[in-house]
Amino acid sequence: MASPAHPKTTKKHNARLNNPFPRAVPAAAFRQYGDAAPPLSFAPSSAKLAQAHDHPVGSRFRLRWDPSHGGAVSLAGIHVSSSVMWETIPGVAFVSAASAVTEADECRGSFALRDGRARLVPDRQTVDRIRALYRCDADLLRAAAFQASEETRFPVLLITGVVSARKAGPASSCCCGLRARIRAGQPIFSARYWFLLEEKNNTQVAFGVKIADYQWSCGHAADPSSPPPAGGSTARPQRTSLRLRLHLAGRVQRNSGRKKKLSSGFPVREEELSALLPRLKKEDEEEARAPEEFNRVFLTYASERDERFYGFGEQFSRMEFKGKRVPVLVQEQGIGRGDQPITFAANLLSYRSGGNWSTTYAPSPFYMTSKMRSLYLEGYDYSIFDLTKPDRVQIQVYGNSVRGRILQGHSPTELITSYTGSTGRPPVLPRWITSGAVVGMQGGTDAVRRVWSQLRDHDVPVSAFWLQDWVGQRKTAIGSQLWWNWEVDDDHYAGWNDLVRDLRRGGVRTMTYCNPCLVPMGGKANARRHLFEEAKELGILVRDESGGPYMMPNTAFDVAMLDFTNPSACAWFKGILRGMAESGVSGWMADFGEGLPLDARLHSGEDPVAAHNRYPELWARVNREFADEWKKNSSGDHGTASEEEEEEEEGLVFFVRAGFRESSRWAMLFWEGDQMVSWQANDGIKSSVVGLLSGGLSGIPLNHSDAGGYCTVDLPPFLRYRRGEELLMRWMELNAFTVVFRTHEGNRPGSNAQFYSNARTLAHFARCAKVYKAWEFYRARLVKEAAETGLPVARHMFLYYPEDRRVQGMTCQQFLVGTELLVVPVLDKGRRTVAAYFPASDGASWRHVWTGQEFGNNGHGGVGAVHGFEAEVGAEVGYPAVFVRVGSPVGERFVSNLRDLKVV
C-alpha cells in the first residue's frame, strides 16, 4: 500500500492572542460504531471453528478459540497454570479499520492530531480460519507480510477473515440522509485481514495485523472462505464516479405533483434535490482528496473492570490510566499542563503551548497492568490507547498495519526486564557523573570561578559544571537566550581552555549544551563558523514543501532542523561533537528532538508523522554513536588502568529529554525537561516525581529533573512564578535520591532563588550533595542493574507491591531507591511532616534515617495491618523522610557514610 498522505496541517505560530481553551485532543471526529460494539462472527461452514480448540504459537504459547457467545480468542503460556496474557471480548470484533483524513494543529513544538472526515468504517468482522503455519507454508506467510528467518520459532499462527459493512459507518457522509437513497442499491465493501502471532522469545509473542485494500460489491459480502489473492492484495473495482451518481440523480420521471422520483423508486422533492446536488458535489470533491486505502487500524480486546494500567512513557500528571484516552505523540510537555492560571496564559499567547495532562516529551506505546498483562506497539505511527470503557482496550493506529508484542511475566519487574530486553537499555554510566553534584551555571568564566571557590569552601562534592551558555547569549524579546551555533563564545567565556583544564585538575568535569537545530548567525560578530549556512549548503536540513530549509518558529527566532534520516547529517554533526570533546568537554545536554514538523520533507522520504516519533531516537543515536566512538578511540590514553576501571571512570555522557519506545537503547541518561518553578501538580515539583516514576515503569531507568525546576514567569503583578528558597531546598532533597543530582538556574536566573544565593541555600546544597554522595556505592550498583535488566534507579512501589490497592493508587507520594531505601518527599509548601505508607505484604520493617525509629509489623509508629499502615513522620527542612530496610547492609553502610560526612 502507499504511504499515508501528509496530514492537513494548520500552522498557528504567529497569532498574538489565541483561544486559551483549545479543543481537547484526542477528540475522535467519528466514534467507531457509536455505543454498539461491532459483532464478531465465524464461518459457519468451518467445523473446526464450531468447537473450542487450542492452537500452538511456537513451543511455549497457545491460542485458544472459544466459539461460545459469538467467538473469542485468548493467548496464554502452554502450562495449564499460565494466566491469560491477552484475550478478546466474546462476540466483539477485535480487528477493524477505517479511512480518514488526518488533521493537525501545530505551534512551536505543540501538536494536536485528530480524525477528519471518515469513511469506510466496517461494522462487522468474520473469522474464517485459524491455522498454524510452518516454513513450508510460504504463500500464506507471504500473504500476511511475514518474513521468516532462521531464528523464526514455528509454528506461527494465522487468523484470517473479512471486515465488511453493508453501508458506511454512522459518521461517514456517504451514507447519511438522501444520499444513501440516491445511491443505486445497497453497496457492500469488504476487506480481508491477516492476524499473525509469532513466538519471539521465552516471554514475548509478536503480533501483526495487515488489512488488504477494500473492494465493493452490490449485494453480497466477499466470500470469507475464498483464498487470499497472491501477494496479499485485493483488486479494488472502480468506485461509482461523481458523474454517474449525478446522472442517476437526474433520471427523474415527471409526476402530477411536485415530487420527482429517482429511477430506483425513492421519492425526492424538487427543491430538496436542487439543494442536495451542490452538497454532493462538494463532498465528492473532498472525497477525491481523501485517502484511497485504509489508514486507521483498530485493535479491540478485553480488560477487567478493576485492572489498572501503568506506563505509556514518561508521563507527568498520572501514574494510572484506566478511564483515559492516551495519545502517543512526542511533543513539548507544555507550560502548566492544566495548572492555572499559567496554562490559560500560555495558551492565550501561543496556541496549545499550555499543554494538557497527556502532553509529554517522551511517550511510549507500552503499558503493563495490575493483572500482569503487558503489550507494546512496534513502529512509529501515531497511536491512541482508548481505556475509557471498563471492559476493553481499543488501540487506534494512524497507519495501514500494526505490529507489536504481547509480554508474559508474573511480576512488574519481569515485565520490565522482558520489555527492555527487546527495546534496549542504557549503558553503564561513567562513575564521574554520579560521584557528586552537577552544577548548572551561566554567566561566563568569572562567575564560574567565583561559585567554584564557594563550593570548595563548603566542601561540596562536585562532579561537573554544566555550562549551557558556553555558546554565548543573545538578547531577545523574552530575555537572554543562547546562540544556537555550537562553538564556544570566546568573549563570554574568556580563557575557556584554561577554565576546562583547571576544573579537570580539581577533579571536576565540564559539560555543555547542544540541540539538533541551527540558526542564521548574521547577528553574531565573533562567530567563527556559520553552521546553519554550512548545513544549508550541504543539503542536510529538514526541507519544506518548496525544497528549502524548513524554518520553524522557536520562541523569539526561527530555526532549521538537521535531517538525521540523511547519513551525511549524522556524520557532519559528529564532527561538531568531536570539536567539543577535543576541547576537554566531558558531556552535554542533548536538548530538543520533539519538534519535527508533521508536514516536513525528509531525505528518507518517509511519512513525517511517523518520523516525528522516530526523530528523538535518531537524535539520541547520533550522540551515542559519537560517545562510543570517542571512548573506543581514547581507550589507549589511560595508562595501565584496567578495563573495568576505564568503564567506570571514563567516557562521555549526554542526557536527553525527548524520547520514544527505544530511546533507552541510544540515550545514556534522561532528564525530565522544563517543569515550572512551582508546587503545583501537573507541571511543578509533584510532576517531576510522577515523570521519574512513570518513566521508570516504561523502560527509562536513568532519569532526573532540574533541581528547583526551570520555567519561570515573572510578570508583576498578574503572573508570578518565581522559585522561592523553600521550593529550591525541597527539590534538592528530592533530587539527592535520583541517579544524577543536577541544578539549573532556570530561564530567568535573577527571579529565582539559587543554591549560591546566600549562606543558608549554599549550606543546604552542600548537605544535599553529601547525602547524595553517601549512597554513591549503591547508586553504582543500581546503574549496572539498569543496564542489565532495565529496572530504574528510582522505583514506583508498584514494582514490588502490585496487589496492594493503596500502592496502585500512588502517584508522587513516595518511592523506592532500588529495594533498600524508601523516600517520602515533601511536595507541599510549608509542610513539616509527611504521611508515609509501609506495605505489610513482605513483612519488611523500615528504619528512619535521622531518628532510628522503626516502622513495620512489629515496629512503632503505626498499627500493623495486612495491607500495610500509614504513619505521620517528621520532615523538617534538611531532614527529608528517608528510611532504610531493617537488616539491609546497604542501609547500614548508607547511614555510616552519612555519619562520616557529618550529615547525621
Which pTM does this prediction carry?
0.91
The count of other CB atoms within 10 Å of the CB of residue 148 is 16
**123, 314, 594, 706: the active-site residue:** 594
Eight-state DSSP code of residue 92:
B
**591, 617, 804, 820: the active-site residue:** 591
Cβ distance 45 to 51 under 8 Å?
no
Calculate the alpha carbon distances from 680 to 452, 677, 691, 903 in Å: 32, 9, 14, 30
Does residue 839 have a pLDDT over 70?
A: yes
Banded model confidence at residue 254, pLDDT cuts 50, 70, 90: very low
pLDDT of residue 119: 80
pLDDT of residue 5: 60
Lowest-confidence region among 121-135, 236-250, 539-553, 626-640: 236-250
SS3 of 388, please? coil
Q: Higher pLDDT residue, 900 or 640?
A: 900
Per the structure block, which three cell numbers stand in for 674?
522544563
What whole-number percentage of the chain has pLDDT above 70?
85
pLDDT of residue 14: 79
Report the interhelical angle of 445-457 vs 496-505 (nearest 10°): 10
Banded model confidence at residue 277, pLDDT cuts 50, 70, 90: low
pLDDT of residue 260: 41
pLDDT digits (tens, 9 = 90+) for 256-275: 444 344 433 344 556 655 66
Does residue 127 have a pLDDT over 90?
A: yes
Does residue 647 have a pLDDT over 80?
A: no
Banded model confidence at residue 558, pLDDT cuts 50, 70, 90: very high
**674, 683, 745, 804: the active-site residue:** 674
Per the structure block, which three cell numbers stand in for 268?
425526492
The mean of the pLDDT values for the chain is 88
pLDDT of residue 670: 98
674 has catalytic annotation: yes
pLDDT digits (tens, 9 = 90+) for 716-750: 988 999 999 999 999 999 999 999 999 999 999 99
105 has catalytic annotation: no
pLDDT of residue 274: 65
Does residue 672 have a pLDDT over 70?
A: yes
Ranges of beta strands (E only) in 565-614 are 587-590
Banded model confidence at residue 370, pLDDT cuts 50, 70, 90: very high
pLDDT of residue 218: 60
591 has catalytic annotation: yes
pLDDT of residue 220: 47
pLDDT of residue 116: 77
Dist CA 431 CA 503 (whole Å)? 17
pLDDT of residue 263: 38
Region at 673 (left for phi over 0; alpha for psi -120 to 50; beta for the rest): left
pLDDT digits (tens, 9 = 90+) for 757-777: 999 999 999 999 999 999 999
Q: What's the distance, Cα to Cα, between the start and end of the chain in Å? A: 66
pLDDT of residue 36: 65
pLDDT of residue 751: 95
pLDDT digits (tens, 9 = 90+) for 336-351: 999 999 999 999 999 9
* Secondary structure element (H or E) that encloses residue 574, with its range: helix 567-582
pLDDT digits (tens, 9 = 90+) for 570-586: 999 999 999 999 999 99
